[in-house]
Structure 1
Amino acid sequence: MKKILIVILFVFVLTLPNLAQDQDVKALSLDEVIEQALKNNLDLQIEMSNPEISQALLDKNAAIFIPTLTFDLGRGSTTTPSSSIFTGADVERADSGILSFTISQRLLLGGSLNIILDNSRNSTNSVYSNINPRYNSQLRFNLVQPLLKNFGLTATKRNIYVARNNKDKSLFALKQQVINLIYQAEEAYWNLVYSHQNLEVKQKSLQLAKDLLKQNEIQVKVGVSAPMDILTAQAEVASRESESLQARSQIQTYEENLRRILNISQMPEAIVPQDKPLFSPLQVDFNQFLLEALEKRPDIEQVRLDLKSKNIDVRYFRNQLLPNLQLSASYYAKGLSGTPQDVDFSLLPTDSVISDIGGNLNDSLRDVLKNLYGNYSFGLQLSVPLFNTSARADLVQARLNLEQSLLLLKKTESTIYSEVKQIIMDLETTAKIVEANRISRELAEQKLVAEQKKLAVGLSTNYLVLQYQRDFSNAQIAELKSLIDYNLALSRVNKVLGTTLEKHQIVFTEMLLKK
Structure 2
Amino acid sequence: MPKFTIHRLALLLLLAVEGCASPLGDLGKEYGGFTDENLLVGVNDVELQFPTQTTSPVEVVLQVRSEELLKITPANNPADWGAAIGINLQLSDATATALAMNDAIEYTIQNNLDVKIATFQPTIAGNTVLANEAAFDVVLGAGVSTKKSRIPQQQIVSPLGGALNSSESAVDIFDIDASLSKKLYGGGTVTLSTDITKTSSDSSGFNFTPDPAWQTVGTLNLTQPLLRNFGEAVTRAQIRLSEIVQGQAAEDVKDTLQTAVTASQQAYIDLELQWKILQVKQWLLEQGEAVVEILNLRREYDTVESDYAQAVATVQQRRAELISQQAAVQGASDTLKKLMNTTDYPLESEDVIQPTGAMQALPVSISLRQAIMTAMEHRPELRKLAMSIDSEYINMEVANNAMLPQLDLQAQMSFYGLGNNTNEGYQEVFSADFINYLAGLTFQVPLGNRGAEAKYKSARLQRMSAISSYKRGIQEAILDVKTSLRSIVTNAELMRANRAFRIAQAENLRALGVEEETMSGLTPTFLNLKLQTQKGLASARISEFTSIANYNKAIASLY
Normalising by structure 2, report the TM-score. Answer: 0.75
Query: Which stretch shifts more, 278-287 or 457-466?
Result: 457-466
Matches within 5 A, 1:283-362: 283-338=365-420, 360-362=421-423
Structure 1 residue 387 corresponds to structure 2 residue 448: yes
Matches within 5 A, 1:224-235: 226=303, 233-235=311-313
Higher helix share: 1
Matched with 2:147 is: 76
Matched with 1:413 is: 474
- 1:240 is aligned, of 318, 338, 348, to 318
- 2:185 is aligned, of 76, 84, 108, to 108
Q: Are the equivalent residues in 2 in contact too, given 1:73–1:98 (CA < 8 A)?
A: yes
String of CA shifts for 1:245-274, please: whole Å, max 9, x gaps.
232232244334444545654233333333
Matched with 2:535 is: 470
Matched with 2:194 is: 117
Matches within 5 A, 1:417-496: 417-458=478-519, 461-493=526-558
1:287 Cα deviation from its structure 2 partner? 1.6
Matched with 1:34 is: 105
Matched with 1:503 is: none
Bigger radius of gyration, 1 or 2?
A: 1
Structure 1 residue 65 corresponds to structure 2 residue 136: yes
1:109 Cα deviation from its structure 2 partner? 0.7
Matched with 1:173 is: 252
Note closer, same or farther for the CA distance 1:382–1:23 as it changes in structure 2 (3 Å cut).
same
Structure 1 residue 144 corresponds to structure 2 residue 215: no
Q: Are the equivalent residues in 1 in contact too, given 2:85–2:329 (CA < 8 A)?
A: no
Alpha-carbon distance in structure 2 between the residues aligned to 1:448 and 1:370: 114
Alpha-carbon distance in structure 1 between the residues aligned to 2:507 and 2:192: 95
String of CA shifts for 1:454-489, please: whole Å, max 9, x gaps.
211118832343333222211211111111101111
String of CA shifts for 1:413-437, please: whole Å, max 9, x gaps.
1111222222221111111211222
Note closer, same or farther for the CA distance 1:272–1:319 as it changes in structure 2 (3 Å cut).
same
1:40 Cα deviation from its structure 2 partner? 5.0
Alpha-carbon distance in structure 2 between the residues aligned to 1:231 and 1:49: 63
Structure 1 counterpart of 2:527, one-letter code: N
| Percent sequence identity over aligned pairs | 25
Matched with 2:39 is: none
Q: Are the equivalent residues in 2 in contact too, given 1:71–1:102 (CA < 8 A)?
A: yes
SS in structure 1 of the partner of residue 180 of structure 2: strand
Structure 1 counterpart of 2:262, one-letter code: Y
Alpha-carbon distance in structure 1 between the residues aligned to 2:425 and 2:548: 90
Query: Which stretch shifts more, 230-239 or 178-187?
Result: 230-239
1:232 Cα deviation from its structure 2 partner? 5.8
Matches within 5 A, 1:494-509: 497=559
Alpha-carbon distance in structure 2 between the residues aligned to 1:28 and 1:240: 29
Note closer, same or farther for the CA distance 1:310–1:144 as it changes in structure 2 (3 Å cut).
same
Q: Are the equivalent residues in 2 in contact too, given 1:138–1:332 (CA < 8 A)?
A: yes
Q: Are the equivalent residues in 1 in contact too, given 2:219–2:414 (CA < 8 A)?
A: yes
Structure 2 counterpart of 1:423, one-letter code: S
Q: Are the equivalent residues in 1 in contact too, given 2:86–2:93 (CA < 8 A)?
A: no
Query: Which stretch shifts more, 42-51 or 288-297?
Result: 42-51
Alpha-carbon distance in structure 2 between the residues aligned to 1:377 and 1:30: 76
Alpha-carbon distance in structure 2 between the residues aligned to 1:145 and 1:267: 67
Structure 1 counterpart of 2:218, one-letter code: L
Note closer, same or farther for the CA distance 1:154–1:213 as it changes in structure 2 (3 Å cut).
same
Structure 1 counterpart of 2:169, one-letter code: E
Matched with 2:232 is: 153
Question: How many residue pairs were aligned?
Answer: 459
Alpha-carbon distance in structure 1 between the residues aligned to 2:361 and 2:188: 66
Query: Which stretch shifts more, 143-152 or 164-173?
Result: 164-173
Runs (5+) with no aligned partner, structure 2: 1-82, 157-162
- 2:268 is aligned, of 167, 175, 189, to 189
Alpha-carbon distance in structure 2 between the residues aligned to 1:432 and 1:20: 42
SS in structure 2 of the partner of residue 114 of structure 1: strand
Alpha-carbon distance in structure 1 between the residues aligned to 2:382 and 2:505: 48
1:188 Cα deviation from its structure 2 partner? 2.7
Structure 2 counterpart of 1:327, one-letter code: L
Q: Are the equivalent residues in 1 in contact too, given 2:176–2:197 (CA < 8 A)?
A: yes
1:58 Cα deviation from its structure 2 partner? 2.5
Matched with 1:207 is: 286
Structure 1 counterpart of 2:256, one-letter code: Q
SS in structure 1 of the partner of residue 440 of structure 2: strand
Structure 2 counterpart of 1:107, one-letter code: L
Note closer, same or farther for the CA distance 1:456–1:226 as it changes in structure 2 (3 Å cut).
farther
Matched with 1:269 is: 351
Structure 2 counterpart of 1:380, one-letter code: L
Matched with 1:345 is: none
Alpha-carbon distance in structure 1 between the residues aligned to 2:489 and 2:155: 108
1:364 Cα deviation from its structure 2 partner? 1.5
Note closer, same or farther for the CA distance 1:231–1:123 as it changes in structure 2 (3 Å cut).
closer
Alpha-carbon distance in structure 2 between the residues aligned to 1:61 and 1:276: 55
1:331 Cα deviation from its structure 2 partner? 2.2
Moved >6 Å (runs of 4+): 17-21
SS in structure 2 of the partner of residue 294 of structure 1: helix
String of CA shifts for 1:336-375, please: whole Å, max 9, x gaps.
212xxxxxxxxxxxxxxxxxxxxx2112223323444444
Matched with 1:505 is: none
Structure 2 counterpart of 1:473, one-letter code: A
Alpha-carbon distance in structure 2 between the residues aligned to 1:30 and 1:257: 14
SS in structure 1 of the partner of residue 149 of structure 2: strand
1:213 Cα deviation from its structure 2 partner? 3.7
String of CA shifts for 1:40-92, please: whole Å, max 9, x gaps.
54444444443344333323222211111111111112213353257654543
Structure 2 counterpart of 1:204, one-letter code: W
SS in structure 2 of the partner of residue 284 of structure 1: strand
Structure 2 counterpart of 1:203, one-letter code: Q
Structure 2 counterpart of 1:140, one-letter code: T
String of CA shifts for 1:267-297, please: whole Å, max 9, x gaps.
3333333354321221121221111111111
Structure 1 counterpart of 2:550, one-letter code: D
Alpha-carbon distance in structure 1 between the residues aligned to 2:196 and 2:339: 68
Query: Which stretch shifts more, 188-197 or 155-164?
Result: 188-197
Q: Are the equivalent residues in 1 in contact too, given 2:376–2:382 (CA < 8 A)?
A: yes
1:193 Cα deviation from its structure 2 partner? 2.0
- Identify which of structures 1 and 2 has the higher relative contact order when contacts are C-alpha pairs closer than 8 Å and 6+ apart: 2
